[in-house]
Structure 1
C-alpha cells in the first residue's frame, strides 16, 4: 500500500532514466517523451551542460539563505531582465509561488485589491493562485477563496472592458492557456489589454510559467503579441527539472518589494541558480529559438495535414513546441493508445490533446511522433465507428 496521498491519477509507468526526448521505464521500454515533465524539461532529460553546472555547484555550496549575497542570483536575474521587459527579479521555487508573489506585489504596489483573470486559466494551487485560476473544478471543496477576482473569457474584448475599473489592481493572463486547452490570445485582445491597463492605471501580469523559456519559439510568448507586461512569472522550464521560479517586474514596482515584504527560504538557492543559468545560456541562443520556431511550424503543419482526414479531430493549434489537438471526443483513450505505441502526451482539458516536446527534439523524432499519432487516431476512429 502506498503511503502517498492520492492527489494524482498516476499512470502505470515508472521512469528510470532519460536522455533528450527519450524516457525509459523500469521494464526497459523506451518512450518519446512529448510531455517534458509538463513543459519543464525544455532541454530534454539529462542535458550535459545542466548536469555539469549543477554538479560543480554541488561540490561548492548548496544553501546559505537570502541573508547573504548569492552571485548566481545576480547572474540569472541579469539574463532574465535582458530578455524581458522587466528590471528586477524575485526568485522562488515554483510557478504557483511566482504567481502568489505577483498577486501580492500587484496589491501592494497599487493599493488596490481587485484582479481580473481569464476563464479556463491556470495559475497554481495555493489559495491566492487558485483564486486567480478561472476554473471551478480547481476551486471545489476548499471553501471561500481570496476575494475580489473577476473572470472573463479569453478574446472577449467587451467582457474585459466591462470588468476592469478604477478599483482594479491588475489584469492577470496567459497568452496561451496551457491547462485550459491550448487557447491562444489574439492580437485584437492583446491590444485591448494594453488600452484597458493604460486607461485605468492597472498592472498587466503575464503568467509565462508554461509558455516561457523558449517553449513557443521566443524567449517569452508575450513578445509575439507586442505586449509589455509590468510583471512576468516563470518557472517550469527555467530549471529544466530543478525546482525554481521567478517573478520579473518593472522598475516602478521596486519599492513595493522592499526588505521584509516578501521572501522564500529556498528561493534562488545556489543549486537552482546553477541550473537556471545553464538553461538560459542554451535556450536563449538565437539559433535554438529559431529551431523551435521552424520545427514547431513544420510539426503543426504536418499534424494538420495528416489528421485532417479524421472526423474526431476539430483543430490543431499552438505555437512552437506547445501544440494542442482539439477533438470532438474525450482524449483519454487516445492518450492510452499513444502510450502503448511509445509516445507520451497529455490532456489539456477532457477534449484536447496537449503535446509539449523538448526543445531539443530532432526532426526524426517529430516524424516518428507524427506517424504514431496518425496510427492512433486511425485506430481510435475505426473503433468508435464499429461501436456506433
Structure 2
C-alpha cells in the first residue's frame, strides 16, 4: 500500500492520511475488477492500520488463484490515526466537534479527489471522453457501517441531481455499531420505579451486575462519551432510527437497469464477545452480555439484512457469525474478512456489472 497525504479542497489547512493499492500494470483490458474500488471504513477504536492483515490476506488470496486485485483504499478520519484534526472544529470547552453528516461529506470529497487525481478516472459529468461510474465496495466495521448507510443516502441524492462519479455496488458490514441506542437503555434499570423483581432476572444476573453494566456502558459507549476525533455521535439515533430503514439505494447497471447492491452482514461470536467483555477495563459479566447486549445486537443485525430486497440476494439473508471473533472482526480473523470480500467480488463479476 502506498501512503498518501491528502488535503481536501473543502478543508484546506489540514491533511488526511490514506493508503492506496493500485492494480499492477497499465493494461486493464479484460480485468473485470479494473473499475472497482474497495474502500475500508474504520470504527472509532481501530484506525486504518487495523485493516492491514485483511489487505495482506486478500492480496495473497488473489495471487494464489491468479486473479487481479482491485484498487484498495483506506484512510484515517480527521483526528484519527495519522490524520490531522478536523480544521472545521471550533475551539471549545466541550469535547464535541464535527458530526456524522460532516464525516460523510468529507468521505465524498475525499473519494472524488482520489478518483480524479490518483486513479485518473473521468466521471461522467466531467465533459470530454466519459468513463463509466466507478464501482465501490464498502468494507466497514463498527461505526463505519452506519456511516456507510448515511454515505449511500447522500450518494443517492447526488445521483438524483445528476452528479454521478461512483456508485456503491456492495457492502460488507462487520459487527455494525447499533446506531439507534444510547447502549445504557439496553439494560433494565434496577433503580427505576417500574422495575420488577430480582427473581425475574435471567439466570446468573444480579442487581449489582445490572448497575455495573449500565455504569460501564455509560462510561465507554454512551453517545455523549468523547473521542479523539471529536466526532459528535449524539445525533446518530435521529439520523438512523431504524436498523432496516432507509433501504440501501439501487444503482444503474451497464445496460441502464436498476440493480440492488449486494449486502453481507457479519456479527461477532457471542461467546467470544462475552469473554472479551469480562476482561479489564470493561469487566461486564458474560451472563449480562448474553442476556441483554448480544440479544439486542443480534436483532439489530437481522434488521440490517433487510436493507436490500430479498430478490437481490436470491433468498432471505442470514447474519453470518464470525466464529472466534469479538467486535473487531478484521483484527480477530483477517482471513475470514478477506474471504468474504473475495466472495463479494466474485458475485459482482458474475453479475457482469
Q: Which has the higher contact order (CA 8 A, sep 6+)?
A: 1
TM-score if structure 1 supplies the norm length?
A: 0.25
Give me the TM-score of the superposition, normalised by structure 2: 0.27
